Structure 1
C-alpha cells in the first residue's frame, strides 16, 4: 500500500512542478494523435464510442517514453486499413496526407517530450527549430507524395510500378545518407 501512496505523492508533486512548454508539447501530441485517429477510422466505427479516441490519444501524451506512441500509431494505421478495406472508403489524397502528417507530428513530438523532463525550462527557440524541421519534412513529403501519385496516374499499371521502384530508391538513398551521417561523427 505504501508504494501506491508514494506514486500518488510523486504524481501530485509532478503536477505542481510541470512547466508550460512541456505541457504544450504534450497537448500537441494529444491533438495530433486525435486528428490521426479521427481521420483514419471510419465514421461508423467512431460514432458509437465518442470517448474512445480521446482516451487513446491521451495515452502517448501521458507516457511518451512507453509503448503508447507505437500503439496509437498502429491503431491509426489499422483504422486506415479498416476504412479502406472493410468499409470501402475511397483513398483520398488529402486524407492520406493528413493522416501521415498527424502520425509524423505525434511521433516527432513524442521523441522531443521523451527527453524533456516535465519540469524543464526550455528555450522556445529549441521547440521552434524542432517544429520548423518537422514542417519542412512534412512539406517535402507531401510534395514528393503528390508527384509520385501524379506519376502513377499517368502510366496506369506501369505507372504504379515506376512509383514503387522510385519509392524504394528514395528509401535506399535515405538509408545510405543516414548511415553516412552516423559514420561521419
Structure 2
C-alpha cells in the first residue's frame, strides 16, 4: 500500500512539472496527423468506428513521438490515400496531394521536435518558431519542385500519381528500415 501511494505522489509531482510548450507541440502532432487522415481517407470511411480508430492512431504519435507511432500514422495516411484513389475512385488533385505531403512532413518534423522535448522542458518560444519556419521553407521548396516535376516533367495523370505515391511509400519504408538497421548495428 505504501509503495502504491508513493507512486501516486511521484506521478502527481511529475504531472505538476509539465510545461506548456511540449504539450502544444504534442497537440500540434495530434491535429496535424488527424487532418492528414481527414484529407487522405474518403468521406464515407470517416464515420463511426473507423473515425475512433483514426483518432486513436493520431493520438499515438503525440503520446510516443520517439516510438514507431509516427511511422505507423504515416503509413495509415498513405493507406487512406490509396484507398480513396483506388478503392473509391477519387480523382487525384494536385492541391490534395501537396497538402497531404505537407501534413505528412509537418507531422514528422513535429514528432522529431517532441522527441527532443521532455514534458517538463522550459522552452523558448523562439525555438519552436524557428523550427516551424524551417519546416515551412522545406515545404515551400518541395511544393515548387513537386509542381515543376508534375507539370513540366510530364509525370501527371492518374497512373503517374499512383506510381509516385507507391514509389514514395517504398522509399520511406526503405529509408526507415535502413536507419533502423544502422541504429541496431551500433
TM score, norm. by length of structure 2: 0.76
Higher RCO, 1 or 2 (CA under 8 Å, sep at least 6)?
2
2:23 aligned residue: 23
Size of the aligned set, in residue pairs, is 161
Which ranges of structure 1 fall in alignment gaps of 5 or more residues? 165-170, 172-185
Report the equivalent of 2:42: 42
Moved over 3 A (4+): 1-14
Shift of 1:40: 0.5
Compute the TM-score of the two structures, normalised by the length of structure 1: 0.76
Using the alignment, how far apart are the partners of 2:69 and 2:3 within structure 1?
A: 23
RMSD of aligned residue pairs (Cα, Å): 2.8
Unaligned ranges ≥5, structure 2: 165-170, 172-186
Q: What residue in structure 1 maps to residue 32 of structure 2?
A: 32
After the TM superposition, which residues 1-185 of structure 1 pair with which residues of structure 2 at under 5 Å, given as runs? 11-49=11-49, 50-153=51-154
Return the alpha-carbon distance in structure 2 between the equivalents of residues 128 and 45 of structure 1: 35
Q: Distance in 2 between matches of 1:156 and 1:106?
A: 26
Distance of 2:81 and 2:139 partners within structure 1 = 19
Q: Secondary structure at the match of 2:92?
A: coil
Post-superposition shift, 1:9?
A: 5.5
> CA 1:2–1:54 in 2, change beyond 3 Å: closer, same or farther?
farther
The offset of 1:47, in angstroms, is: 2.4
